[in-house]
Amino acid sequence: MERKEIAKFIDHTQLSACATESDIKKLCEEAVKYGFASCCVNPVYVPFAAEILRGSGVKVCTVIGFPLGANSIDDKASQAAMCVSEGADEVDMVVNLGAVKDRRWEDVFEEIYAVRCAIDDVDCGENKKIVEKVILETCYLTDEEIVTVCEKAKEAGADFVKTSTGFGTGGASVHAVELMRKAVGKDMGVKASGGIRTFEDAVAMLDAGANRLGCSAGVKIVEG
């Protein structure tokens, strides 16, 4: 694969607590220039990014319950709906890790399903389907927990499972991506995110089964 071909798999990401409007503007301009799949920004910047990216073909992605996942189901659902109403095309929600550790699988299912329903209920005016990605934060989970969360995400109607927020103790790994791909099968997306800084890192994740990459180093990966 050529470097420039990898751009279409990348969610170009800026989730810093100190990100400014100029940072987001630069992110969006780079995404258009290189043909990245989306720009991933914090919820407060969704309207700003949506205005810049309108008509470009680059999607607006945002994060829900980020980065801890320790919000109520109602909070996650309402935040997701608000972001979609303001222009988000994709929402990456952090799963409730405490519920996972407690093996409260019905609660895990319910929050993913609640977000799915909330974003589906927003009238986007274009009959478009909003993409839901479920962030597992795999560095904290056992293989069994990873597989079960993937199964619950698939059952709840999510479109992708995602490895990491990038704010945990570890990012994406080939092992986790392979495990997630096996768990969800070929008809659901797998997003590798966290610690993907080089072209070689990106290719390794795609080879392992990812079909989307969350990167803050997208330009470096494409340009070398």
Q: Is the pLDDT of residue 6 over 80?
A: yes
> Alpha helix locations (H) across the chain?
21-34, 46-53, 73-85, 97-101, 105-120, 143-156, 174-184, 199-208, 218-223
Q: Is the pLDDT of residue 126 over 80?
A: no
Q: Is the pLDDT of residue 127 over 80?
A: no
DSSP character at residue 12:
E
Q: Is the pLDDT of residue 221 over 80?
A: yes
Q: Is the pLDDT of residue 4 over 90?
A: no
Paired residues of 90 in beta bridges: 61, 131
Confidence tier at 2 by pLDDT (50, 70, 90): confident
Helix, coil or strand: residue 39: strand
Average pLDDT over residues 149-168: 98
* pLDDT value of residue 128: 84
Tell me the catalytic residues: 92, 162, 191
Query: What is the per-residue pLDDT across 172-212, written as a single tens digit (0 to 9) for each?
Result: 999 999 999 999 999 999 999 999 999 999 999 999 999 99
Residue 91: which H helix or E strand, with range? strand 90-94
DSSP character at residue 195:
S
Sign of CA dihedral 167, 168, 174, 179: negative
Paired residues of 11 in beta bridges: 38, 214
Mean pLDDT, rounded, of the chain: 97
Helix, coil or strand: residue 135: strand
Confidence tier at 57 by pLDDT (50, 70, 90): very high
pTM > 0.75: yes
